[in-house]
Amino acid sequence: MSAPDSAKQGVVHMVGNAARVFSFRIAGAVLTFSIQLLIARWAGAEVLGLYVFGLSACVIVSIVAGLGYAHSGVRFLGAYLGQADRARLVGYVHAGRATALIAGTVLAAAGIAGAYFSAGLIRSDQRAVLAIGMLCVPVFALLRMNGTIAQSHSAYALSFLPNQVMRPLLMLLAIVATWHLGARNGFTAETLLWLNLAIVVAIALCQHWLVDQRLAVKAPSGQKLFERGRWVRAGAPMMVVTMFTSYFPELTMLIAGYFLSAQDMGVFNVAFRVAFIITFGIIAVDAITTPRLSQHFARGDLDNAQQIAARGTLIKTAGGAIAILILIMFGEPILALFGDEFPAGYYAMLIVAAAQLLRCVTGPVVNIMNIAGQERRMLAVFALLLPVTIVAQAALATTYGPSGAAFAVFLVVATWVTTLYRIVTRSTGLHPSIVSAVRTGPVLNPR
């Protein structure tokens, strides 16, 4: 096979894998949306709010439990695979898994103790769901770590399917079965979280076994080399970035849920999830443009990099504006699908949608900072945004309910994108905003 044909085949393979991973994410989002729709219709906003609070606590605390191993795993494991450094590869796998289970268990115990012995800091209706959510933390952390191991070996189905597709699919089936078996009176947030715990344990064990069977992650001689300090220093700082870039809904629900009543939490969660659909358009466009943007930036070809970023921004902004118009016209009927309580979140939904539109108009600033090697500056921004998020939710959600929580989201996103945009323009020379895109008039087919 000639070099051009081999390169072309490599590109096709990469695009195919990207499309497959994106399809997993879409399927997972649809299943999660369906789960929340059924809970809302069958159990109401209060049960949904408590369930989401407990699940969000599990997800966010499990990120901390991993100490960054899952975030830097693709980098280190990929390098060790390329160098045939089996001892360090196995050492990283062993350390990452052990950290997930040990740190996860410690944090889970601390969370359960805090839920019941926090002298009134946790509301009585949140204690049980928080405790059950904490029980899931070490298993969820292990699930994420094994997903990283599989991803580093290019086993994408084994990496993404268990958590993103199989877990919500089994949860959906369990909810339907529980309902039709007549357990309607016991359909509580606690019941739902116990079901989730059982499903996560089963999936994590299956994935763990498959990773060990299919991938070379064990050392027959027992030899392992560890560089724990280096691994944690590289991965731990990225935990905060991951919370904002990959788990922003869960982070928002955990913080806002502390200040909102259970019913308001359920209403806000649905409003947020409906508006957050815009994000999938952002992800889809960025998945197509980021590889080409990275190639041009690496060659120092800023003109074509600017054109690609501008074209992506135009597409995302147009799509985001259309989505907001649809939500303005049909938002209340959409929310009413979840039940009579949920149209009250109409204005919260529009405010969150406006925040997503801000992400569209400022362009792919997070991706550009990653491409430009500006991760530490991005980390500093998100580290400051975490207390800002808590203060904003405390001030606005407590006073104004779901709409206040949504406005807190808007303020955080506005601070996030404008700060990163200023860093991008000053450090790279790129101007990916909609204003620059309209002024420069991007070419239709940048090279």
DSSP 7-38: HHHHHHHHHHHHHHHHHHHHHHHHHHHHHHHH
Whether residue 117 contacts residue 39, with contact meaning beta carbons closer than 8 Å, is answered with no
The residue ranges of every structural domain in the chain are: 31-236, 239-447
User: How far apart are the C-alpha atoms of 109 and 119, rounded to whole Å?
Assistant: 17
Alpha-carbon distance of 159 to 153, in angstroms, equals 9
Provide the pLDDT for residue 400: 94
Residue 436: Cβ within 10 Å count:
17
Question: How far apart are the two ends of the chain, measured CA to CA in Å?
Answer: 25
**3-class SS shares of the chain: helix, strand, coil, % to 5:** 85, 0, 15
Instruction: Give the model's pLDDT for residue 166.
Output: 92
Among 414, 305, 400, which Cα is nearest to 354's? 414
- How many angstroms separate the CA atoms of 356 and 365, rounded? 13
- 337 phi, psi to nearest 5 deg: -60, -30
pLDDT at 186: 61
**CB environment 129-156: b (16+ within 10 A), e (fewer):** bbbbbbbbbbbbbbbbbbbbbbbbbebb
- The burial class, CB within 10 Å (0-12 / 13-18 / 19+), for 298 is exposed
The angle at the Cα of 78, spanning 137 to 200, to the nearest 5 degrees, equals 20
CA distance 82 to 70: 19
Instruction: State the pLDDT at residue 341.
Output: 92
Residue-by-residue pLDDT tens, the chain, 447 positions:
554 554 445 445 555 556 666 777 788 888 998 999 999 998 899 999 999 999 999 999 999 998 888 877 777 887 887 777 788 888 888 999 999 999 999 999 999 998 888 767 888 888 999 999 999 999 999 999 998 888 887 788 888 889 889 999 999 999 988 887 766 566 789 999 999 999 999 999 999 999 888 766 555 555 777 778 888 887 777 788 888 888 888 999 999 999 999 999 999 999 999 998 877 777 777 767 777 777 777 778 788 888 888 888 888 888 889 889 999 999 999 999 999 999 999 999 999 999 999 988 988 888 888 777 777 788 888 889 999 999 999 999 999 999 999 999 999 999 999 999 999 888 888 888 888 767 665 444 444
Query: How crowded is residue 235: how many other Cβ atoms within 10 Å of its Cβ?
Result: 23
Length of the chain: 447
- Cβ proximity of 82 and 112 under 8 Å: no
- C-alpha dist (Å) from residue 355 to 13, 278, 318, 446: 35, 10, 15, 29
Tokens 């925040």 correspond to what residue? 355
Q: Which residue is associated with the tokens 């996560």? A: 200
pLDDT at 220: 52
- Please give the pLDDT value at position 443: 44
Cα–Cα distances in Å, from 271 out to 18, 132, 330, 344? 29, 25, 13, 9
The Cα 231–Cα 196 span in angstroms is 31
| Dihedral class, residue 373 (left if φ above 0, else alpha if ψ from -120 to 50, else beta) | left
Token pair, residue 137, equals: 């933390």
